[in-house]
Amino acid sequence: MCGCQNPTSPTTSAGNATDTAAIIKDGVVKTILERRSIRKYTNQPIENEKLAQIIECGLYAPNGMGRQSWEVRIVDNPELLAQIDAAYSKFLGKENPNPPKKAAYGAPVLIFIGYDTTYDLSQVDCGLLGGNMMIAAQSMGIGSCCLGGICRFFNAPEGCELLSKLDFPPTHKLLYAIAFGYPDESPKAKPRMMEKVKYIE
């Protein structure tokens, strides 16, 4: 856990060091540090009550002026997920001779997040929304992975038919998606670049 401490941060007293150790053991902090991007899932479906809790945690994310400027669409219908897989694989096959067969690594739930094009900070709101969802999912033993490539497809002419199924209002555009499901792998964390963090005096 020592990697979470900035070596250039101000010196703390022994008492504060003890407080810091207690914080690191906190369940929320532990959950954040243990979350990984999962690209392999089991066939176990996500329970309805857990999925509802994940969505609720997302909706409680901070957002500019309380506008809640996001639009959220949940896809857990196996037939629709299969349509997305087939169409996305065909789309990538134009340039890739071995395109992936699963658009969301076989996750049983795909959540699409759209941002309000009339509000310049809506994308920030949407990022916070997704972050809350992924941390909530991790706390329940459910894995997640942010997806950008699939949204390039949805926003391309080839994906317009599937995009229309998401029923976003004219003011909103698809920003990204998140795959959710029970993980079938345990990837290690990639090193974090602490040198990108600086204290300004």
Domains located in the chain, CATH noted: 48-181 (3.40.109.10)
The per-residue pLDDT for 26 is 79
Q: Calculate the alpha carbon distances from 29 to 50, 139, 154, 183 in Å.
A: 20, 11, 34, 20
Cβ(151)–Cβ(174) under 8 Å?
Answer: yes
Please identify every stretch of the chain with a pLDDT value under 70, giving residue numbers as ranges: 1-25
The per-residue pLDDT for 100 is 86
CA-based R_g, the chain, Å: 19
The per-residue pLDDT for 1 is 41
The per-residue pLDDT for 45 is 97
The per-residue pLDDT for 12 is 43
Cβ(65)–Cβ(125) under 8 Å?
Answer: no
Residues in the chain: 201
